[in-house]
Amino acid sequence: MSYVLYTDGGCAPNPGPGGWAFVLDRSEGDRVESHGGEPDSTNNRMELTAVIRGLERVLDDAATPRPRVEVVADSQYVLKGLTEWMPGWKANGWTRKVSGKRKPVLNRDLWESLDGLSQRLDLDVTWVRGHTGHPENERCDALVKAGIREAGGDPA
């Protein structure tokens, strides 16, 4: 079985109450949605949480080792982190170069969790521009707003 995982996350304001969401399409044609919120977070943490929760669901659902997953997101931060930045961060002890100096990677706890999950999957990533009418991205955005409201925020 293969999966397409659509994700989104956000805060209102940033930082502040946050929400995360995913829509998981399975090759058998059915769909699973989930969302949640945190009273004090950041956009980036919520974007990462959405992917983590979605990949955890894939692994709970999968009957085969290393299931194939396409992650579709509007977050360059998450997708570039997965495909470009993470190998360097790991090689440098989860640090990154900022103004010529090594600084800890922000959200390291979530990146490490995402790294562990991604090692167990056959992962592809696709970027979509947010808020442009992409049906699953728009659905995730609506669920993120529900998560923000549940966390005590006003996504307006």
Q: Give residue-wise pLDDT tens across range 87-109.
A: 999 999 999 999 999 999 999 99
Q: What is the pTM of this model?
A: 0.96
Distance CA 3, CA 24 (A): 7
SS3 call for 109 = helix
Instruction: Report, as an integer, the average pLDDT of 58-86.
Output: 95
Name the token pair of 93: 């002890």
Characterize 32-43 residue by residue with b for buried, 16 or more Cβ atoms within 10 angstroms of its Cβ, and e for exposed.
eebbbbbeebbb
Instruction: Report, as an integer, the average pLDDT of 115-144.
Output: 96
Instruction: Return the active site residues.
Output: 8-9, 47, 74, 131, 141
pLDDT over 90 at 63, yes or no:
no
Instruction: Report, as an integer, the average pLDDT of 25-34.
Output: 91
Q: Can you give the C-alpha Rg of the chain in angstroms?
A: 15
**End-to-end distance of the chain based on CA atoms, in angstroms?**
38
Distance CA 19, CA 13 (A): 11
Topology annotation, domain 2-75+122-150: Nucleotidyltransferase; domain 5 (3.30.420)
Note the pLDDT tens digit of each residue in 11-22: 999 999 999 999
The pLDDT, as a whole number, for residue 14 is 96
pLDDT over 90 at 1, yes or no:
no
Name the token pair of 1: 């079985």
Confidence band, pLDDT 50/70/90 cuts, at residue 29: confident
Residue 153 · residue 18 · CB < 8 Å: yes
Name the token pair of 128: 């979509």
